[in-house]
Amino acid sequence: MLEFYTRKDVAENLDVTLNDVDKWIREGKLIESKQGIATEQLRTREQIIRLHPRFFIEREAELDQIPKKDDEDDSSQ
């Protein structure tokens, strides 16, 4: 059985605005039905990159800002 996202779900999951999601729908990059946007459109890395090419690059930069466990241990000594 298909599951669906709302436009707001997609925007929150990809950290973009509703305007971005609407643009992707207009451009045909996402298909929205009466039920919403099928989750299977956003299952793979390639599907997400097609919509938001910098998504994973931005997440990696954000993750680099989080101290690693080893870094925390070193700072306490």
pLDDT of residue 24: 96
CA dihedral 26, 7, 53, 46 (to 10 degrees): -100
- Rounded CA-CA distance 75/77 in Å is 6
pLDDT of residue 74: 55
Q: pTM of the entire structure?
A: 0.74
Residue 22 contacts residue 56 (beta carbons within 8 Å) = no
- Rounded CA-CA distance 15/76 in Å is 34
| Low-confidence spans in the chain with pLDDT less than 70 | 70-77
